[in-house]
Structure 1
Amino acid sequence: MNQIKKLLIIGPVWPEPNSSAAGGRMMQLISVFKQNGFEITFASAALDSDFMVDLSEFGVKKVSIELNNASFDDFVIELNPDVVLFDRYTIEEQYGWRVSENCPKAIRLLDTEDLHCLRAAREKAFKEKRTFELHDLLSEDITKREIASILRCDLSFIISEFEMKLLKDLFKIDAALLHYLPFLVDEMSEEDLLKLPSFEERKNFVFIGNFIHEPNWNTVQYLKETIWPIIKKQFPEAVLEVYGAYPSQKVLQLHQPKNGFFIMGRAADANEIVKKARVVLAPIRFGAGLKGKLLEAMQCGTPSVTSTIGSEAMHANLPWNGFVTDDVELFAKKAVELYHDENLWKQSQKNGVAIVNECYQLSKYSTALIAAVNSLLNDFESHRLHNFMGSLLQHHAYKSTMYMSKWIEAKNKN
């Protein structure tokens, strides 16, 4: 094996760390692999965006590829990567068979971001006004697709301990195919809090989130229609600033300055916005994975009030940096209480530091990640031999995906 290992990352979009938690996570992964000597190429069929990161600044080569086109085969053969990382299961479906066919020795990794099937099933249950049950997942096509993708890969990165347990218990996936990998951030100290704006220097409530993500749009609607009126009744001077990338017209229409409800649009620097706010509000009603906005709040020393779904798998057994409740009246009451009670606010800040250091320590999880990848590189044949279901799915599913892709490619030529 070459001393310098080559990593190919294939993504549905170019990373936008200032637009979404997914973009931030991708840059965390790039940083870890880069620091461990990997030569990285990032490939995508997406168009360039105004807000994408300049990958060259991070020593990453950017390559545009095409969907359903044999030109990818030539590209991947020439690159000959040691490791290929698929960003989300849909990318593995699209390019996995091509990687397997042209670079059979390349380790295939999947970053699930979060379990899309879990998010979709919860959203469906919510919109049908019924309680979500885990067995709801079993009947969804997206579940079958995502689980098949996980089985076909050598290793999948799972961001949430709740999702790790779900995959092992409900779907009986071998633990050897799963690797727990939360957000990766630097340790904090209580001295770091002293460098942040103080209680007196902060004002207003804030919500922040990418509006392409349906749970964020639903949260803002819920705030505007249900929770904010209760907060305003208890605290008439209250102001909520809502930030987020890609706000649609329906989002912008919620702007109501007379009622203290401000739709601010994209944040130039989300960190600076959250540092200046006194409390983050995030009554998230469906979703999956970990909530980047809530970890960011902890790093910014900003207490938060969120829901059970919002805090899911985010804080081990440690006290939350604020409050967790699904009760509307209690949510509003605790939000106002946290806003006005300086002692409570400062204790919540300290809770956030404890959570960051216990649950998201960069050094701990990055070391384990590289060790897992190197182990695969050293013995991928034995690993695959023990994953019979994966090889079975690869044999059948890749054949159907391959012929569909080649049919589309032939059709495009005509």
Structure 2
Amino acid sequence: MQNHLVIIGTVWPEPNSTAAGSRMLQLIKLFQNQNYKITFLSSASKTDFSYNLENQDVKTHYIKLNNNSFDVLISELNPSIVLFDRFMTEEQYGWRVIENCPNALRILDTEDLHFLRKAREIAFKQNRSLNSKDYISDVFKRELASIYRCDLSLIISKYEIELLTNLFKVDPSILHYIPFLVEPISKETINHFPLFSERSHFVSIGNFLHEPNWQTVLQLKKSWKSIKKALPEAELHVYGSYVTEKAKQLHNQKEGFLIKGRAESVKEIFYKARVLLAPIPYGAGLKGKLLESMLFGLPNVTTEMGSEGMHGNHSWNGFITTTDEDFIEKAIELYQNQTFWQQSQQNGIQLINKRFEKSLFENNFITKVNHLLANLDKHRNQNFLGQVFQHQTLQSTKFMSKWIELKNKT
């Protein structure tokens, strides 16, 4: 009998708009390679940029929030595994999965730790250092409860795994490290990389609706005049989906600060550019833009926050900076220094092939999933805190949902 994976998504994947969308397609491909039948469910509306999952042999269904029609559907689908794409999705549908498909393995793909990003955002906006009290928010309590309720949570960053296990004492048996999964960079691919002399200008990219990306653009605006003064021929091309009005107001042709909007082809844009700028002030998880810069042979200048969890003991493909002044200086140096630029490109290739190549992680993950499927009762009995959170939290979630459902009928 063919195993069946049901994915419940907060949104329909948009791999050309967000790193989360690319991540979801990587997981789908991983399970398809194991001959899983896959169904994707979401209550969100599709956009013109939503990925056509049906073309990848993934069945899709639109579902309603706070509606028992989901109970009927999930029972009919009868999945072996249910994967929630964020903790909010698990809150909304987890208790219904438990009631209707109690034997399904429940996996949470955290994307990144929302409570970590939120804590850093608060500290950043208050212009102070992060302290441990910042973590303990409502988001933290909800996200940790969701992690405990699931049989396994996928963590994209080594830093986040260590934070959960060392500081918050989460049992490692309910966590699994699985970063972005990409093909290795081959010699043939490297031979097609445009040369230093064939590239020009700086580039930045990121969905404008994502607050850390917007703050990154503001950081760039602040630094750009100094970079432009040293490199008068250079321009900064800022790409990103869902451009806001406030972002458009930053566009300045004379300064060479150009808001370009949605990127039709990241590969094409990154092949033309000489340096990616990513002065990321806060966030969590791994940064898709930095991974893609390595994939397309584009060195970058970023911050410690941008590079977190990505390079381990390996050299960075460019510069990691700690101050605005350092960022400006290193951006100018990387743009002009061909020797260091070429070495940085090589560093990026090494990082991809040694830390993100998908074969390093796929077998280990599938082995873990198969073990859990075969030993689910034992695993759940050992995760006694998960049972506590199921009993307490889901009772309130369940009855709130049922109340909303009844209210909607009147």
Q: 1:144 aligns with which of 141, 144, 150?
A: 141
- What are the Cα deviations for residues 24-78 of structure 1, in whole angstroms up to 9, with x where unaligned? 0000000000111100000000111100011011110011000000000000000
1:200 aligns with 2:197: yes
Q: CA deviation at 1:163?
A: 0.3
5 Å matches for 1:68-79? 68-79=66-77
Secondary structure at the aligned position of 2:83 is classed as strand
Q: Distance in 2 between matches of 1:283 and 1:31?
A: 32
5 Å matches for 1:306-385? 306-385=302-381
5 Å matches for 1:19-38? 19-38=17-36
TM-score, normalised to structure 2, is 0.99
> One-letter code of the match for 1:193?
I
> One-letter code of the match for 1:354?
Q
Q: Distance in 1 between matches of 2:168 and 2:212?
A: 25
Q: Distance in 1 between matches of 2:190 and 2:249?
A: 36
**Residue equivalent to 2:55:** 57
TM-score, normalised to structure 1, is 0.98
Q: Distance in 2 between matches of 1:377 and 1:115?
A: 25
CA contact (8 A) 2:278 2:306 kept: yes
Q: CA deviation at 1:133?
A: 2.0
Q: Distance in 2 between matches of 1:86 and 1:242?
A: 32
> One-letter code of the match for 1:10?
I
Q: CA deviation at 1:328?
A: 1.2
CA contact (8 A) 1:77 1:103 kept: yes
Q: 1:98 aligns with which of 96, 99, 102?
A: 96
> One-letter code of the match for 2:86?
R
Q: CA deviation at 1:236?
A: 1.7
5 Å matches for 1:240-319? 240-319=236-315
**Which stretches in structure 1 are left out of the alignment for 5+ residues?**
none
- What are the Cα deviations for residues 143-200 of structure 1, in whole angstroms up to 9, with x where unaligned? 0000000000000000000000000011110000000010000111354222111111
Q: Distance in 2 between matches of 1:204 and 1:133?
A: 38
Secondary structure at the aligned position of 2:197 is classed as coil
Secondary structure at the aligned position of 1:212 is classed as coil
Secondary structure at the aligned position of 1:19 is classed as coil
**Residue equivalent to 1:108:** 106
CA contact (8 A) 2:200 2:234 kept: no
- What are the Cα deviations for residues 273-322 of structure 1, in whole angstroms up to 9, with x where unaligned? 11211000000001000000000000000000000000001111111000
Q: Which portions of structure 1, spanning 4 or more consecutive aligned residues, are displaced by more than 2 angstroms?
A: 189-192
**Residue equivalent to 2:121:** 123
1:210 aligns with 2:207: yes
CA contact (8 A) 1:255 1:263 kept: yes
CA contact (8 A) 1:190 1:350 kept: no
Q: Distance in 2 between matches of 1:227 and 1:191?
A: 37
Q: Distance in 2 between matches of 1:319 and 1:134?
A: 30
CA contact (8 A) 1:11 1:42 kept: yes
- Pick closer, same or farther for the CA change 1:74–1:291 going to 2, 3 Å: same
Q: Distance in 2 between matches of 1:172 and 1:287?
A: 22
CA contact (8 A) 1:7 1:85 kept: yes
**Residue equivalent to 1:155:** 152
Higher alpha-carbon deviation: 404-413 or 231-240: 231-240
CA contact (8 A) 1:190 1:353 kept: no
Q: Distance in 1 between matches of 2:17 and 2:77?
A: 30
Q: Distance in 2 between matches of 1:190 and 1:116?
A: 38
CA contact (8 A) 1:278 1:302 kept: yes
Q: Distance in 2 between matches of 1:221 and 1:186?
A: 33
CA contact (8 A) 1:283 1:326 kept: no
Secondary structure at the aligned position of 1:185 is classed as coil
Q: CA deviation at 1:401?
A: 0.4
> Aligned residue pairs: how many?
410
Q: CA-atom RMSD, angstroms?
A: 0.8
1:186 aligns with 2:188: no
**Which stretches in structure 2 are left out of the alignment for 5+ residues?**
none
5 Å matches for 1:232-243? 232-243=228-239
Secondary structure at the aligned position of 1:62 is classed as strand
> One-letter code of the match for 1:409?
E
5 Å matches for 1:4-19? 4-19=2-17
Q: CA deviation at 1:337?
A: 1.1
> One-letter code of the match for 1:393?
F
Higher alpha-carbon deviation: 339-348 or 283-292: 339-348
Secondary structure at the aligned position of 1:132 is classed as coil
Q: CA deviation at 1:135?
A: 3.6
